[in-house]
Structure 1
């Protein structure tokens, strides 16, 4: 199911990612969810794609997600 706002994201996403990373996750998830309509693993695949999008801009240092350095 697409997310209209970051407040609708799963608690595990909201509690671990900073707000900008949550926006990246939500937008990537929604795009992937629409692109993979009709596929059996649509939701799982969309979450994987969303995490990949976050990891392009953020990295986990210890237990905190921080922006990647250019």
Structure 2
């Protein structure tokens, strides 16, 4: 079930990640969905891994922030 719109993402993604991170999640999930023959759990893991390459959760505030490169 690829996500056509960000509004379709799981609440755990929509409610906690900044918009750009949500876009990364959506694209990574959709690509993994196709690449791994519609394995939903695996696609979610791939999507979170993609987000974590660019974003990190600030332990002090609990908010996801872009990593400084």
Q: Smaller-chain TM-score range? A: over 0.9
How far residue 54 of structure 1 moved from its aligned partner, in angstroms, is 0.1
Is 1:52 the counterpart of 2:49 in the alignment? yes
How far residue 12 of structure 1 moved from its aligned partner, in angstroms, is 1.1
TM-score (norm 2): 0.94
CA deviation string 1:33-60 (max 9, x = no partner): 000116xxx1000000000000000000
Gaps of 5+ in 2: none
How far residue 28 of structure 1 moved from its aligned partner, in angstroms, is 0.0
| Inter-partner Cα distance in structure 1 for 2:12 and 2:57 | 15
Look up the SS of the partner of 1:16 in the other structure.
Answer: coil
**Cα RMSD for the two superposed structures:** 0.9
**Runs (4+) off by over 6 Å:** none
- For this pair of structures, how many residues does the alignment match? 67
TM-score (norm 1): 0.92
